[in-house]
Chain A
Amino acid sequence: MSAPTKEATGSDAMVEIRSVHKSFGPLEVLRGIDLSVRAGEVTVVLGPSGSGKSTLLRTINHLEKVDQGWISVDGTLVGYRRSGNKLYELREREVLRQRTRIGFVFQNFNLFPHLTVLENVIEAPIAALGRPRKDAVAAAEKLLARVGLAEKAGAYPKQLSGGQQQRVAIARALALEPKLLLFDEPTSALDPELVGEVLDVIKDLARGGTTMIVVTHEIGFAREVADTVVFMDEGRIVEQGPPADVLDRPVQERTRAFLSKVL
């Protein structure tokens, strides 16, 4: 019923983005974005700052509302209900339920500083999914072990390094068992020597078949992990394709100019 995506593409798309526009006041940040992400694939979004890539990511879990167009995740429209040719904005309660199926990892981690690492991870499963505390704790301990921080469960976030904090943030996002993971420049706030440990966790998730969209400046990571690389500039997708094409044989002049600066 609310799945215009599957009719339209007939594919196994996890995320469909269609002619999405977004403005902040007079500034048009997204100028018509179309993008499909297939289940199990890793999509890396590159682009200069101000190109709209973070805003695009934030529209996918409705942290930003779109002005035009639509986005669907796993066949369900995000933030709206379709009836005829109209999109009705959903109530907050329904949007919150949708968000539990989409994990989001922030540039600045945004861990809850007054809660321990374990409390950070079990908060959403208990409060949003209604899991029993015992189950949530058991699952959280497994997740913390998976990101290599089993022994830090009782620590407060500020007692951890940036890399450790971001790994906790990833575990926190995974605790909801999301169908899709969104990463907003997950390593940009880290000291250079801590970038590797976070990227390793993300690579591990990619190998496990999690559908991910990663906004980043790490070209090496894109080359190694991405199924699709998307290059954005001035609110538009300039070029997209396999990393071997976009990174090594870019067709567009703007892509080439950007890559020559960051490589």
Chain B
Amino acid sequence: MSAQTEIHAPSLPFPPGGNAGEETPRIVPVRRTGQWAAAVVVLLLLAGALVSVVRNDAFQWGVVGEYLTTDAVLRGLGLTLWLTALVMVLGFALGTLLAVFRLSGNRVLQAVSWGYIWLFRSTPILVQLLFWFNIGALYPQILGVDTVNLLSPITVAVIGLTLHEAAYAAEVVRGGILSVERGQLEAAQSLGLGPWRRLRRIVLPQAMRSIVPPAGNMLIGTLKGTSIVSIIAVQDLLYSVQLVYHRTYEVIPLLLVATLWYVAVTSLLSIGQYYVERHYARGTAGTR
């Protein structure tokens, strides 16, 4: 027995009964010297850039401050916000319908959905907007009413952005539905739950976990993407500042006004997304 311990003793880093100390050895993590050095360099570069931006008079920060909260800009911001909200809600409602069509057993609905997504994803949103804006040239009258009176620029903006959004939303929702385990659907079927109930109560709540991250992405994209409606003279945030700088020629500071608002709203939305994701993670391991 003593011979055995002697044979094994040299391979043990802490020989039993040795004088390496009675306590268990302390663990020291790897020192990340390079990472610290890099952090210092990055912070210095950032500070330098910041100082140069603040001290460069060409940015005209005074003008930025002057216009940041003027009525015209805030009205533009308001329009951008509700246009984004409306387009997201309508786009996802239509998109969910398209996703369900695509995954249904009905060949006609599948084809309709596929065709829609193909058409609206393969044309630029700019072209789609201009097309709806000029629809009066193709159909001067709809149901006896002049198209021009029927479709104001803002209506065109809502329709154009929604139809485009729905094509992308459909794919996001479809991916979410496909991510739900097949057994869930079988369990719901074996319990006699109808198709609508299965979708609303069983499948969609579980699909939301996969839908929320790309949907958050789309929301932020849409917020900034609505700025495209400035080309059809809808007074959103971007168009509002353009109206000002066309008059005053203070292009850069006014673009900064719009940018600051976009950054602020986007930051808020990112924080909101965190809480929405946490809500839909309910019932998964680790949530107690």
Contacts and interface: CB of A to CB of B under 8 A. Distances in A.
B186 A63 contact: yes
Nearest to A182: B190
A93 interface: yes
A108 interface: yes
Nearest to A102: B190
A112 interface: yes
A114 B192 contact: no
A114 B282 CA distance: 6
Interface in B249-288: 282-285, 287-288
A176 interface: yes
Interface stretch (B65-73, B165-173, B195-203): B195-203
A112 B202 contact: yes
| Number of chain B interface residues as a range | 20 to 34
B193 A113 contact: no
Contacts of A115: 283
Contact of B183 (A103, A106, A129): A106
A124 B197 CA distance: 10
Interface string B171-196: 00000000001011011111111110
Contacts of A96: 189, 192-194
Please classify the interface of chain B as helix (H, G, I), strand (E, B), loop, or mixed, using the class held by over half of its residues. helix
B282 A127 contact: no
A146 interface: no
A180 to B, nearest CB: 12
Interface string A123-145: 11001110000000000000000
A127 B187 CA distance: 14
Given A63-B186, A96-B189, A112-B202, A156 B194 contact: no
Nearest to A119: B201
A123 B190 CA distance: 12
B184 A112 contact: yes
A128 B187 CA distance: 13
A114 B186 contact: no
B205 interface: yes
B235 interface: no
A207 interface: no
A61 interface: yes
A110 B288 CA distance: 20
Contacts of A108: 183
A80 to B, nearest CB: 17
B190 A104 contact: yes
A116 B202 CA distance: 12
A92 B187 CA distance: 15
B206 interface: yes
A22 interface: no
B288 A128 contact: no
B184 A158 contact: no
A54 B117 CA distance: 39
A11 B285 CA distance: 49
Nearest to A128: B192
A31 B187 CA distance: 26
A100 interface: yes
A104 to B, nearest CB: 4
Nearest to B105: A92
A215 to B, nearest CB: 15
Nearest to A158: B285
A129 to B, nearest CB: 8
B189 A63 contact: yes
Contacts of A243: none
A93 B192 CA distance: 9
Contacts of A93: 194
Contacts of A172: 191
Contact of B192 (A100, A110, A111): A100
A173 B186 CA distance: 13
A256 interface: no
A156 B189 contact: no
A123 B201 CA distance: 9
A96 B183 CA distance: 16
A53 interface: no
Contact of A112 (B187, B195, B287): B187
Interface of A: 61, 63, 92-93, 96-97, 99-100, 102-104, 106, 108, 110-115, 123-124, 127-129, 156-159, 172-173, 176
Given A103-B190, A176-B192, 13 more contacts: A63-B186, A63-B190, A97-B192, A99-B189, A99-B192, A100-B191, A110-B184, A112-B206, A114-B205, A114-B206, A124-B191, A158-B287, A159-B288
27 contacts: A63-B186, A96-B189, A96-B193, A99-B190, A103-B190, A104-B187, A110-B183, A113-B206, A113-B284, A114-B206, A114-B283, A115-B283, A123-B191, A123-B193, A123-B201, A124-B191, A127-B194, A128-B191, A128-B192, A128-B193, A156-B282, A157-B283, A158-B283, A158-B285, A158-B287, A173-B190, A176-B192
Task: Report the 3 A-B pairs with minimum CB-CB distance, sorted nearest first.
Answer: A110-B187, A128-B192, A100-B192
